[in-house]
Amino acid sequence: MSKSISWRKLVQEFRALGFDGPFSGGRHLFMTRKDGLKVRIPNPHRADISQHLLAEILRQAYISIKEWEEI
C-alpha cells in the first residue's frame, strides 16, 4: 500500500469498488454501497490521507489490502 493517498483518489477508488457518494452527514462525509454499508471518510480540506487512516477506512469497508491494490 502506498504511504498516503489524496482525498480525490480515495473517492475515485471507492466509486470503482461500487460505492456512491460522498454524501454529507454531520461532521464527516460518507459513502454508501448498495448492500447498505456506510463508510465515513475524512473531510476533503485536510492533507493527504495517511496509510494508517486508509487501513482503518478499508477495514470498516470490509475491503482487503489485496483487493484495494488490485484496483
The three cell numbers of residue 16 are 470503482
pLDDT of residue 47: 84
Placement of cell 483518489 in the chain = 9
DSSP 48: P
25: which strand partners? 28
pTM, whole model, 2 decimals?
0.86
pLDDT of residue 54: 92
The enclosing H or E element of 22 equals: strand 19-25
Q: Give the tens place of pLDDT for each residue, 5-53.
A: 999 999 999 999 999 999 997 888 999 999 999 999 988 877 899 999 9
Q: CATH number for the 4-69 domain, one of 3.20.20.60, 3.30.9.10, 3.30.920.30, 1.10.240.10? A: 3.30.920.30
Q: How many residues does the chain have?
A: 71
Burial class of residue 38, CB neighbours in 10 A (0-12, 13-18, 19+): middle
pLDDT of residue 69: 87
50: which strand partners? 4
Is the model's pLDDT at 2 over the cut of 80? no
Indicate the domain borders of the chain. 4-69
